């Protein structure tokens, strides 16, 4: 079993390629990042990968792990339906590839959790990563890399630098294979996308080689940024110049220095200054409330940047406080969870019965994943006609950050419902 919590340990990891290509200074600052705590989302992603790997290695279905505990770097995650469903969708897709080869038992044609190393290209740093699943189809001379994404942030497959890095790594790892085309596939069960939850891009090896030249140039830029940062030697004027030259916000999610990045601080401060000192906007004498759609639209554009920065600052301070740093006006307190029964429920049952109360509820219908587990992999499709995914409300999102179609407004829904 691969160590999923520490998969991308290279200085230039595949998963950070998009960020490092966009922001050449990110790799420099990452060297000074405080130790990263494992978030619950990241731990759930790790647990999902772990059970998916076990399924692919052993042939069982993900529902067999329902209710079990998976240990991750810092947490223990109980496998719930959502994780089972995500893992199974990915496992089903991997199993569906090259079924003839799979059946013939020629295992050399697929690799689970394959480690990649790009050092053969003469990279200025150690560079690599781990591909979730790699499969070679000799009939079409195609190498496919499948990536499971358990998160809800929509990831596009086209020209995706992380996936291209995996493609490149897979190609380097198998110089003996006759490959003409590379297919990269994202399986992202929890994020609706116009191209579906499973989406692929196929490109010719020659295109990948062209892209590799760009990747190596980006690595050289990062190396130059690193060298110039070292040459500034702590001089604040030079470091401000370095910040403006090498840091480029825009792909900061998951950057290990998001909470302490000087470029984000500079931009957040300037956005806040516009907000609080909006002197060039027309003032409407009697307008007590600011409900102008254009003004709200402008604020909606600015809010995510400030929110992200505030969230990252809070997370950094929290993590430092947990490591013992004291803040004058702030302190750590315990977070109290929802009420639940103590481990031994026998005294509770006895006390309730003595008071004439039955603490047991009526038997409930099993959940889809529980029923799937009972039915087993061969009969699990039986429940599909009875499963629904309900819309529970709406979200207001940026048009540029979604591929989903617009939901109906309340007025539209109301008039549609009229006879």
Residues that bind ligand SF4 (CB under 6 A): 19, 23, 25-26, 29, 247-249, 251-252, 255, 257-258, 261, 263-264
Tell me the two tokens of residue 100. Answer: 């003839």
- In the chain, the largest separation of any two C-alpha atoms, in whole Å, equals 79
Q: What is the closest distance, in whole angstroms, from the C-beta atom of residue 74 to ligand SF4 in the complex?
A: 23
Q: What is the closest distance, in whole angstroms, from the C-beta atom of residue 256 to ligand SF4 in the complex?
A: 8
Q: Which residues pair with 313 in a beta bridge?
A: none
| Cβ distance to ligand SF4 smaller for residue 171 or 252 | 252
Q: What is the closest distance, in whole angstroms, from the C-beta atom of residue 28 to ligand SF4 in the complex?
A: 8
Burial classification of residue 182, based on how many CB atoms lie within 10 Å of its CB (0-12 exposed, 13-18 middle, 19 or more buried): buried
Rounded Cα gap, residues 147 and 186, in angstroms = 5
Tell me the two tokens of residue 173. Answer: 């790892």
| Cβ distance to ligand SF4 smaller for residue 93 or 246 | 246
| Cβ distance to ligand SF4 smaller for residue 76 or 244 | 244
Three-class SS state of 17:
helix
| Cβ distance to ligand SF4 smaller for residue 84 or 264 | 264
Q: What is the closest distance, in whole angstroms, from the C-beta atom of residue 127 to ligand SF4 in the complex?
A: 17
| Cβ distance to ligand SF4 smaller for residue 13 or 88 | 13
With a CB cutoff of 8 Å and minimum separation 6, the contacts of 225 are 24, 25, 27, 28, 242, 245, 246
Q: Which residues pair with 78 in a beta bridge?
A: 69
With a CB cutoff of 8 Å and minimum separation 6, the contacts of 408 are 416
| Cβ distance to ligand SF4 smaller for residue 163 or 255 | 255
Rounded Cα gap, residues 167 and 184, in angstroms = 7
Q: What is the closest distance, in whole angstroms, from the C-beta atom of residue 286 to ligand SF4 in the complex?
A: 42
Q: What is the closest distance, in whole angstroms, from the C-beta atom of residue 262 to ligand SF4 in the complex?
A: 8
């Amino acid at each position: 079993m691969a160590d999923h919590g520490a998969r991308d340990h290279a200085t230039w990891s595949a998963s950070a390629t998009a960020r490092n290509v966009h922001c050449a200074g990110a790799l420099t600052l990452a060297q000074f990042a405080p130790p990263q705590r494992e978030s619950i989302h990241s731990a759930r992603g790790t647990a999902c990968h772990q059970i998916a790997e076990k399924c692919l290695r052993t042939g069982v279905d993900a529902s067999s792990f329902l209710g079990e505990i998976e240990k991750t770097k810092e947490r223990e995650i109980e496998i719930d339906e959502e994780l089972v469903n995500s893992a199974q969708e990915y496992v089903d897709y991997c199993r569906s590839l090259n079924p003839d080869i799979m059946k013939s038992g020629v295992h050399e044609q697929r690799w689970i959790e394959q480690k990649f190393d790009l050092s053969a290209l003469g990279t200025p740093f150690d560079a690599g990563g781990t591909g979730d699943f790699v499969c070679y189809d000799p009939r079409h001379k195609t190498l496919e890399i499948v990536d499971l994404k358990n998160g809800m942030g929509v990831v596009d497959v086209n020209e995706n630098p992380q996936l291209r890095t995996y493609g490149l790594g897979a190609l380097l790892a198998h110089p003996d294979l006759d490959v003409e085309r590379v297919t990269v596939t994202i399986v992202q069960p929890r994020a609706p996308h116009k191209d579906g939850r499973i989406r692929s891009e196929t490109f010719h090896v020659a295109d990948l080689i062209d892209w590799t030249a760009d990747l190596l140039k980006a690595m050289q830029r990062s190396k130059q940024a690193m060298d110039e940062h070292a040459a500034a030697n702590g001089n604040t004027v030079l470091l401000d110049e370095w910040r403006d030259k090498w840091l480029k916000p825009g792909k900061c999610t998951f950057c290990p220095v998001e909470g302490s990045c000087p470029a984000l601080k500079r931009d957040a401060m300037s956005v806040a200054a516009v907000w609080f000192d909006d002197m060039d906007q027309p003032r409407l004498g009697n307008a007590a409330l600011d409900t102008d759609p254009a003004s709200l639209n402008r604020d909606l554009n600015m809010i995510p940047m400030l929110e992200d920065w505030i969230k990252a600052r809070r997370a950094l301070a929290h993590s430092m406080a947990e490591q013992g740093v004291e803040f004058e006006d702030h302190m750590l307190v315990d977070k109290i969870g929802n009420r639940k029964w103590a481990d031994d429920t026998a005294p509770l049952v006895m006390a309730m019965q003595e008071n004439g109360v039955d603490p047991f509820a009526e038997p409930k219908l099993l959940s889809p994943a529980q029923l799937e587990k009972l039915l087993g992999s061969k009969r699990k499709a039986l429940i599909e006609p009875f499963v629904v995914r309900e819309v529970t409300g709406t979200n207001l999102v940026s048009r540029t950050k979604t591929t989903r179609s617009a939901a109906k407004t309340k007025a539209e829904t109301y008039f549609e419902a009229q006879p």
